[in-house]
């Protein structure tokens, strides 16, 4: 133990006989072992210093001497400690290891240079260094031998606060040696690795693993405190369009910007995480009411919707938010499932919508649909309804839209109530194939009955996922051939985002459709920020104006609507005004020179038999 000290250590008997000299003291000694001892009298500090100063073998400027009574080999003895500032060549002095020797009473016998440099204060008793009770540092000595040499974290007074240290204590007879080492870099690296494992590498938000753990803990706290929490899920609208049109590097920058806005908005007690792709989630703790959650989500959505300039492009992000509130009566899976259902409900509304899950029939309905889809699809439950569009001037039928319905318990459900569930379960492509088949069959029937002219197409809504599916075009070709109908009798309704999400691919598909004669219409035109360039670049036959453009007649921007209509007509594209439910709107569209109208005031969606009666009456009027 003493050999590891930089200080010179000697132990002498009461008769001043030298009993022990450590390696450091040996360097200061000569062959005459009586150098430090006055055999005629009592050892004193003064005598020791004088002997060292006057001895011709040593040239010491500054050193200290301390004398401590000890028991050595069960005999009363004295320990003499000599400490000098002379340069040391000994290996121990170069170790980055603090060494402190102290007796059973805690009296410090010696410290090495390294410890003195970091401590910067002389201490006489080990207790002066400790924040915790003195006996605490001896706990490791009472453990089994395999554990007693393990390093433990320590907090010592007078050590730098921005550093991290560990210690270990070994016992040698009646003395103790404490070793202190600096583990700052090791601690920082360990923390960095922990942080990397807990954070999403792109945005720096919590990852899915951390989210699941914090949600579990939040639910436990909720049960104890009898307070509520809300889980909100957020999905960016048309994010794939950004990646496909501007590149993934811009998409990553957009995700980072959204993450920063989320962190700025939520409280420190809340958790924001990225679950993957463009899906984020927030755990709001200690919420008061549904109204407060709705208010939080709306404010959050407003913050996310601010324009973003990236790589010279101005983006207008929109997000669909769904949330579920619980007082702890739901488990992790259930609250996530309900928040997810609410988010998909928001996606069925306009872009940037917010929806709070209600424990009502809607969720039970979705669960019922999923249960039914676990079995083989029963196509007899699906049917098509039809809604015609008429020309503005002559009121003649110019197209007929096929609308999917799912009949459960005798009541038809709208697509917004079930299609997202069907799509999430992977059945959408099969059902859309069935819709194309039924639409072609009906159009063939009307042609044979001569109810409408061959120039009047049947409009079929095509989702984005099916539009890009490799089976889409072959299936359409097969159905046209099966029923032997002209391609001009088919019109495909596609939303704007479908064309702009992958422009090169969508342009190839639309040109193939146009080459064989299939008509193409853009549904809900004006619902996104797509430029009019789309009308010029793509082979579009018709656009259907989104009903939100004329939702409020008192505040309609007639100049904007007229400009859209004029631009489309200049490109030989027909314009249909959707959602026409009043005479005032008919007059407005007539003034704007809109080509055709569709809405409840003209005809509600009807079954095939009812539509055929309507078509017969139209024939009688116009024949």
Cα 471-476-478 angle, rounded to 5 deg? 95
At 531, phi and psi to the nearest 5?
A: -80, 165
Q: Which H or E element spans position 358? A: none
Cα–Cα distance for residue pair 28/145, rounded to 1 Å: 37
Per-residue pLDDT at 540: 94
Evaluate whether 5 touches 175 at the Cβ level (below 8 Å): no
Number of Cβ within 10 Å of residue 14's Cβ equals 12
Tokens of 240: 């794939």
Q: What is the DSSP letter of 250?
A: H
Torsion of CA 340, 343, 345, 348, to 10 degrees: -130
Per-residue pLDDT at 577: 93
Q: Which residue has the tokens 């405190």?
A: 225
Residue 140 Cα distances to 129, 173, 180, 619, angstroms? 18, 16, 15, 100
In order along the chain (623 residues), what is the average pLDDT of each group of 10 residues? 67 75 63 44 57 52 67 78 56 68 85 83 84 66 51 77 82 80 82 71 87 89 85 87 82 92 87 89 88 87 88 85 87 87 80 72 49 62 92 94 79 63 65 93 94 94 86 94 95 85 83 95 77 83 88 70 90 93 90 93 92 86 63
State how beta strands 354-356 and 319-326 pair.
parallel
Tokens of 168: 């270990």
Give one DSSP letter per residue of 173-194, joined into a string.
TTEEEEEEEE-HHHHHHHHHHH
Nearest CA among 105, 179, 94 for reference residue 140: 179
Evaluate whether 454 touches 485 at the Cβ level (below 8 Å): no
| DSSP-assigned beta bridge partners for residue 166 | 153, 181
Cα–Cα distance for residue pair 170/526, rounded to 1 Å: 79
Nearest CA among 421, 446, 442 for reference residue 431: 421
Per-residue pLDDT at 142: 54
Instruction: Answer left, alpha or beta for residue 204, where phi above 0 means left and psi between -120 and 50 means alpha.
Output: left
Cα–Cα distance for residue pair 467/591, rounded to 1 Å: 35
Evaluate whether 525 touches 543 at the Cβ level (below 8 Å): yes
Residue 598 Cα distances to 392, 397, 447, 587, angstroms? 10, 10, 22, 13
Per-residue pLDDT at 41: 46
CA max distance for the chain: 145
Per-residue pLDDT at 14: 74
**Three-state secondary-structure class, residue 467:** helix
Cα–Cα distance for residue pair 544/385, rounded to 1 Å: 19
Evaluate whether 356 touches 338 at the Cβ level (below 8 Å): no
Nearest CA among 564, 561, 557, 522 for reference residue 543: 522
Per-residue pLDDT at 56: 45
Q: Which residue has the tokens 């424990």?
A: 359
Per-residue pLDDT at 57: 45
Cα–Cα distance for residue pair 335/323, rounded to 1 Å: 9
Evaluate whether 344 touches 321 at the Cβ level (below 8 Å): no
Cα–Cα distance for residue pair 334/150, rounded to 1 Å: 45
Nearest CA among 452, 448, 342, 329 for reference residue 386: 452
Give one DSSP letter per residue of 206-229, joined into a string.
B-HHHHHHHHHHHHHHHHHHT-EE
Residue 72 Cα distances to 67, 170, 174, 314, 326, angstroms? 14, 18, 9, 84, 71
Nearest CA among 294, 276, 407 for reference residue 346: 294
Rounded to two decimals, the pTM is: 0.48
């Amino acid at each position: 133990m003493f050999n590891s000290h930089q200080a010179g250590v000697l132990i002498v008997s009461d008769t001043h006989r030298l009993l022990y000299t450590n390696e450091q003291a040996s360097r200061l000694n000569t062959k005459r072992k009586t150098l430090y001892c006055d055999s005629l009298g009592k050892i004193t500090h003064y005598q020791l210093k004088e002997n060292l100063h006057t001895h011709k073998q040593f040239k010491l400027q500054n050193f200290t001497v301390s004398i401590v009574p000890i028991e050595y080999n069960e005999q009363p003895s004295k320990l003499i400690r000599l400490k000098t500032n002379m340069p040391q060549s000994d290996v121990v002095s170069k170790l980055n290891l603090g060494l402190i020797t102290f007796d059973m009473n805690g009296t410090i016998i010696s410290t090495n240079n390294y410890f003195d440099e970091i401590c910067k204060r002389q201490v006489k008793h080990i207790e002066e260094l400790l924040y915790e009770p003195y006996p605490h540092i001896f706990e490791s000595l009472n453990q089994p031998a395999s554990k007693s040499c393990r390093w433990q974290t320590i907090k010592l007074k007078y050590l730098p606060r921005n550093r991290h240290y560990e210690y270990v204590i070994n016992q040698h007879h009646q003395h103790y040696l404490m070793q202190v080492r600096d583990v700052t870099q090791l601690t920082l690296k360990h923390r960095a690795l922990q942080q990397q494992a807990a954070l999403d590498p792109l945005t720096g938000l919590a990852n899915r693993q951390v989210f699941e753990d914090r949600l579990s803990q939040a639910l436990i706290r909720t049960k104890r405190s009898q307070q509520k929490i809300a889980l909100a899920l957020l999905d960016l609208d048309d994010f794939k369009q950004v990646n496909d049109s501007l590149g993934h590097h811009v998409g990553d920058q957009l995700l980072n910007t959204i993450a920063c806005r989320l962190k700025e908005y939520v409280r420190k007690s809340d958790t924001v995480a990225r679950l993957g792709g463009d899906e984020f989630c927030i755990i709001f703790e200690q919420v008061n009411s549904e109204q407060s959650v709705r208010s939080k989500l709306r404010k959050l959505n407003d913050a996310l919707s601010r324009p973003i300039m990236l790589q010279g492009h101005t983006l207008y992000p929109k997000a669909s938010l769904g949330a579920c509130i619980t007082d702890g009566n739901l488990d992790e899976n259930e609250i996530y499932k309900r928040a997810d259902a609410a988010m998909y409900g928001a996606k069925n509304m306009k872009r940037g919508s917010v929806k709070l899950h209600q424990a009502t029939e809607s969720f039970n309905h979705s669960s019922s649909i999923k249960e039914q889809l676990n079995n083989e699809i029963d196509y007899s439950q699906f049917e098509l309804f039809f809604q015609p569009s008429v020309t503005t001037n002559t009121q003649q039928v110019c197209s007929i839209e096929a609308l999917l319905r799912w009949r459960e318990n005798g009541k038809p459900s709208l697509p917004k109530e079930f299609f997202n569930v069907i799509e999430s379960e992977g059945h959408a492509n099969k059902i859309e194939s069935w819709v194309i088949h039924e639409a072609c069959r009906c159009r063939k029937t009307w042609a044979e009955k001569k109810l409408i002219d061959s120039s009047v197409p049947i409009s079929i809504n095509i989702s984005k996922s099916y539009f890009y599916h490799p089976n889409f075009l072959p299936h359409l070709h097969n159905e046209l051939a099966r029923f032997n109908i002209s391609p001009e009798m088919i019109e495909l309704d596609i939303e704007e985002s479908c064309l702009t999400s992958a422009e090169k691919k969508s342009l190839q598909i639309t040109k193939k459709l146009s080459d064989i004669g299939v008509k193409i219409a853009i549904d809900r035109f004006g619902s996104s920020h797509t430029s009019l360039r789309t009308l010029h670049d793509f082979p579009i036959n018709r656009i259907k104006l989104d009903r939100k453009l004329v939702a409020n007649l008192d505040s309609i921007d007639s100049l904007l609507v007229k400009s859209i209509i004029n631009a489309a007509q200049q490109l030989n594209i027909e314009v249909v005004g959707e959602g026409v439910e009043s005479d005032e709107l008919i007059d407005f569209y007539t003034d704007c020179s809109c080509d055709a109208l569709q809405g409840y005031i003209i005809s509600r969606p009807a079954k095939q038999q009812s539509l055929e009666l309507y078509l017969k009456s139209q024939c009688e009027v116009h024949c």
